[in-house]
Structure 1
């Protein structure tokens, strides 16, 4: 979809559908609103007087213009009260516009908020364009039944009356479109079935992205992982016939500041059966999404390379399967990590932290000075925060604050969990340095503190996306399945890496 800025009056736009975003308390005194209302014989005024449309959040009404203005159809989209507006409402309004445009077979779309929005102009461009891209997203390539061919929305013109800030608007649109496309890529990876998205195939996807975006990439197989000494990673992978892959992606955007590097680490369990500690059958099909952390890192690296921030970023994908077999690791086994620390396995379904442990040590050895890991790590974070917030744990208050700020700029919900050494006692082992589970209580925190043991005092933030990486109740800019959680936060963190306080 081509997205552009328009300073042409909305009533004169030659588009098939004009989406008008309105608040409940919109004054409706704008000259273009009045011009459209007059051309339509007072139809807009009548709709509001009859209260068939009030501007409430998520409310929509479609109007046929009968060629009284160049626009064929007008879509009214409610955004609720002005003082309650947030970026989620703005993204939803844009997504609803593109979905309705497709439904109405309108190839050319226009988008206009009749009231000034309480965001910077570049933020408006970013979140509207991101909403447009994500509203256009579908994953249906495995459906073979004949269906009516759906029209593609070829373009969207976003109206602004502020001509002197057009360049900032365009910058925001570019950012939002890049992030939206990266989230769509991540959703594709997460939604693929596990028999298609194997560790090898995901590594191939990473290579293809690196080629397109001009990034350096290295893919290591089982032998190289063994030579490195990643005993925890290999322990998880040994039950599967699919060979593990370790992917290193590099974006080099700051040649003047090579002593600073952001490391992004993603858990990539392309299928997690639980291993010998087998998961219940109900819902196990969703475990194809246990690589959402690695997918988020891959998507973020694609957007970072396209946007081009002044920063050096390395992305690590730890890819494998966790399967039960005669060669699988067992409860009671002791694994030796890349850091040299030993881990007693009390539950083979606590496998993601084992993969991440070695990947965290590895990214630090590659020179990362600040580290963010992303993982569908614990069911405990869902119990604590539900499916709306990503859990956050960190060893550095300043770096955590910068990542939380990145989440706000990205329009993602993050929540910092308490970190206290008292939780470390839950990870003690009788026969090894650590056990891989810390009991039922505070499961998200103890899992994060397990990871901290493999970070050698470098500023580190852990994002647990187990509750946010997929959805069964999508909002307008989502589809059932993968959400692309954390991609936008990682991109914003990279873009502001050298600007942090």
Structure 2
């Protein structure tokens, strides 16, 4: 991970392999730090604009070579887009765009940058600095490597330069917060990226325990014997076809004075690999199913970030980690299972396993008397058909919780879109022999899966986030998310915990 530091000074005078400044779209006379740099370079940035080679559009960069006019040999100018549309997410993307461009430059290890949007952009300095840190670090992520010559980033240090001495402490606080959040996202991405023969449920739990000890979280892990005593018949049924034991991981952040507070509870689906079980998935692209634990990864990453930030509210994270395999002991279509709540479900498809695991996890968390419960799950491929890869689906039985989540989505840039939970969807999952069935068929599959989960939530506000289309980036189109594991949900959950 790039090491970030904050200094007070003039960006023009910084000794680095490259310095980064910015420009809004349509600006012809640079001001602020960019203007100071332009003057030091005898109008080089103005000439760049006049030539039409750079217009300041979002997602674009231009490189200048300084020929000894300033200490740094290179300057990178990053576009911020139209000033009237600029916001925190644009600031994050600008930082990520710059980091990605720097990562392609040979010989750049140390770079210095101004805070994007802290001046003419109108952002509070702490918020702008946090966005800078998040964008820079998230763009530079490299997954775990199993090559004999592993890849790694050549970027080592980033110096954040603030000219106004009165703002340095605020900028430093924002950078520190951004680092804490990015560390949680890295943690989630690492989990999701790992091959399923490495990240079994037991290894998942071991790593969560080690992290909890490092940052001061309370951690409890339940094995199958303990879950059997709790009568978690649905979760255990999914696990019974696998040689790898299921684990229920419970992390608690309870800073002094919050111990009696009703907690915000976060629940993650953690299918460490999903074959579909007896209802076997097609072999093409089945390898992607190592990401079926992205909800659990996001919850654990979020709890790490929350602990590092020292947020004052009590938060509990629960990760239900299971492998879904099709051996002779595997559960079958037609089986009827009983959850720890005593409610029953008829199995139509063993590939609709995530909702079974979550049903028992949602029953378990009622013991905490939660203020609210939010679950995250790569639950349905249909959510990608409905929303594409631009937003996760949001289902909620409580308006205040839904609005809190939408606000957190707006602040974090991890988008959500509200979806319906009409009572009529109950008809689609009625069973002739049990209380519900675990699949209502293709039509309305996104909503009926959420309705199934709602059946097992009692006595607390609840929301379900279907993140299936957001878990894995198949291209580098978004500068904040290198191709591969996205770590979607960590930043969203942190913002929810800060505000709820």
The TM-score bracket by the shorter chain reads over 0.9
8 Å Cα contact 2:144/2:190 also seen in 1:
no
Match of 1:122 in 2: 126
**How far does the alpha carbon of each residue in 1:211-267 deviate from its partner, in whole angstroms, 9 at most, with x for none?**
101111111111111111000001111111111111111111252561411111100
Using the size of structure 1 for normalisation, the TM-score is 0.95
Partner of 2:10: 9
User: Which residue of 269, 289, 308 corresponds with 1:267?
Assistant: 269
> C-alpha distance in 2, partners of 1:299/1:413?
18
Q: Is the 8 A contact 1:254 1:312 kept in 2?
A: no
Q: Kindly indicate whether the alpha-carbon contact (under 8 Å) linking 2:22 and 2:34 is maintained by their aligned counterparts in 1.
A: no
Q: Which moved more, 1:118-127 or 1:66-75?
A: 118-127
Of residues 479, 494, 498, the one that matches 2:497 is 494
Consecutive unaligned residues in structure 2, runs of 5 or more: none
Go from structure 1 to structure 2 and tell me whether the alpha carbon gap of 1:454 and 1:31 turns closer, same or farther (over 3 Å shift): closer
Q: Give the deviation of 1:25 after TM superposition.
A: 1.9
Match for residue 485 of structure 1?
A: 488
Equivalences for residues 150-161 of structure 1 within 5 A: 151-154=154-157, 156-161=158-163
Q: With structure 2 as the length reference, what TM-score do the two structures score?
A: 0.95
Which residue number in structure 2 is paired with residue 408 of structure 1? Answer: 410
In structure 1, C-alpha distance between the alignment counterparts of 2:499 and 2:210, rounded to whole Å: 26
Matches within 5 A, 1:403-442: 403-442=405-444
- 8 Å contact from structure 1 (residues 94, 111) kept in 2: no
Rounded to whole Å, the distance in 2 between the matches of 1:163 and 1:391 is: 44
CA–CA separation in structure 1 for the residues paired with 2:153 and 2:121: 32
Distance 2:377 2:275 in 1: 16
Matches within 5 A, 1:78-227: 78-102=79-103, 103-112=105-114, 113=116, 116-139=120-143, 141-145=145-149, 151-154=154-157, 156-227=158-229
**Matched residue, 2:294:** 292
1:234-253 to 2 correspondence within 5 Å?
234-253=236-255
User: After superposition, what is the alpha-carbon deviation per residue over 1:426-460, rounded to whole angstroms, capped at 9, x for unaligned?
Assistant: 11000001101122222111111111111113011
Q: Any idea what SS the aligned residue of 2:494 has? A: helix
Q: 1:455 to 1:174 in 2, by over 3 A?
A: same
Deviation digits for residues 24-80 of structure 1, max 9, x if unmatched? 122534264344333323322221111111112222111111221122210111222
Q: Note the aligned Cα RMSD (angstroms).
A: 1.8
Matched, 1:398 2:400: yes
SS at match of 2:172: helix
Partners of 1:127 and 1:15 in 2: CA distance = 22
What's the counterpart of residue 77 of structure 2?
A: 76
CA contact (8 A) 1:314 1:368 kept: no
Instruction: State the distance in 2 between where 1:414 and 1:267 align.
Output: 18
How far off is 1:144 after superposition? 1.9
**Greater mean deviation of Cα atoms: 348-357 or 310-319:** 310-319
| Cα distance change of structure 1 residues 450 and 31 upon mapping to structure 2, 3 Å threshold | closer
Does the CA contact (< 8 Å) of 1:279 and 1:349 recur in 2?
yes
Deviations 1:68-102 (A, max 9, x none): 11222101112222123243332222123233334
Correspondence for 2:479: 476
Q: After superposing the two structures, state which structure 1 stretch, 343-352 or 134-143, moved more.
A: 134-143
Counterpart-to-counterpart distance in 1, 2:28 and 2:373: 48
CA contact (8 A) 2:89 2:412 kept: no
What secondary structure sits across from 1:421 in the alignment?
A: coil
- Deviation of the 1:140 alpha carbon: 5.0
Partner of 2:309: 307
Change in CA separation of 1:72 and 1:371 when aligned onto 2, cut-off 3 Å: same
Contact 2:23 2:30 in 1 (8 A): no
Native 8 Å contact 1:376 1:469 kept in 2: yes
**Gaps (5+ residues) in structure 1?**
none
Distance 2:150 2:400 in 1: 54
Check conservation: 1:98, 1:109, Cα contact below 8 A: no
Matched, 1:371 2:376: no
How far the C-alpha of 1:136 sits from its partner, in A, is 1.8
Distance 1:438 1:381 in 2: 15
